[in-house]
Amino acid sequence: MLHTKMAPSSAVLRPYVWAYGMTTGWGGSVPLVIPLPARPKQLLTFFFADPYCMHRPGSDRSDASPRVTVVGPQTQARADVSVCGRIDNFTIHFQPSGFNRLFGIPMTELTDAAHDAYAVIGPEFPRLEHELGDTPGFAERIQIIEERLIRMLGCYARLDSVAIAANSLFASNGIHRVSAMATDSGLSPRQFERRFLEQVGVPPKLYARIIRFNAALDHKLQLPSRAWSRIANDHDFYDQMHLVHDCRAFTGESPSRFLAHLVGLPEFHTLFATENRLRH
């Protein structure tokens, strides 16, 4: 049985970090396979017990996650996660522009990828990994990571109008119009898209679609009896077929078929429910 906790970041880090999460427990001896859709988040995860394994559809190969893993935004369903054994993970969920603003790394280098954090961020992480691993409490781990991240503020550029627009797009579940965001940022559409891509890793219109689809999927998981047509309307899709089209683009399957894979995965439901409570 896996247990997930989530908590928001402090006010000073809120423009950069959306939340922290911790998952602990026993994943069982038989791997629990979780299909992952395209998703907007940028994550830094510390694995203190057994790692997750990434299995790519159509391949017999599974790759164990590095002990500290950076995951960029995903534009398609590229892999399933396999979970088993003893689980103790701590994750930083960044705002859309947060990782770029804190570490100064162009997010196009992380799109549709997961990397060893040591190779991406640098050598200071072994000591931090040991500190967090020796501190099993969720609140204590948050305190350690916040102290480190707050010291990093100012090393790179602070939030600009594009970063603020990207964070606002995430907070609105992808509803904001890209043309309006460019105008509000005082940039031409081309300038806005170029800078958005560097900071977020995904073009703004595609990023908005991914956010909106994940919000719709979250809604359906929380209210299974709600019709897909109403879910589509609630999340600003043109109609149900528009939602179906995006679901196929981001999962490779129809909404009903993808949802069927998740029915027997209470851990996935728990994670989405916890994130949903935190968002609202």
Domains of the chain, start order: 2-157 (2.60.120)
**Nearest CA to 156 among 270, 23, 16, 45?**
16
Q: What is the pLDDT of residue 156?
A: 65
- If one compares 63 and 254, the residue with the highest pLDDT of the two is 254
Q: What is the pLDDT of residue 17?
A: 95
What is the pTM (predicted TM-score) of this model? Answer: 0.91
Q: What is the pLDDT of residue 210?
A: 96
Mean pLDDT along residues 30-46: 88
Give backbone dihedrals phi and psi of 18, rounded to 5 degrees, phi first.
-80, -45
Q: Which amino acid is at 259?
A: L
pLDDT tens digits along 175-201: 888 889 999 999 999 999 999 999 999
Residue 184 has, within 13 A of its CA and on its CB side, a CA count of 15
Long-range contact set of residues 4-9: C-beta below 8 Å, sequence gap at least 24: 4/267, 4/270, 4/271, 4/274, 5/138, 5/274, 6/93, 6/274, 6/275, 6/278, 7/138, 7/139, 7/142, 7/278, 8/278, 9/146
The percentage of residues in the chain with a pLDDT greater than 70, rounded to a whole number, is 90
Mean pLDDT along residues 112-136: 87
Lowest mean pLDDT among 53-62, 90-99, 167-176, 198-207: 53-62
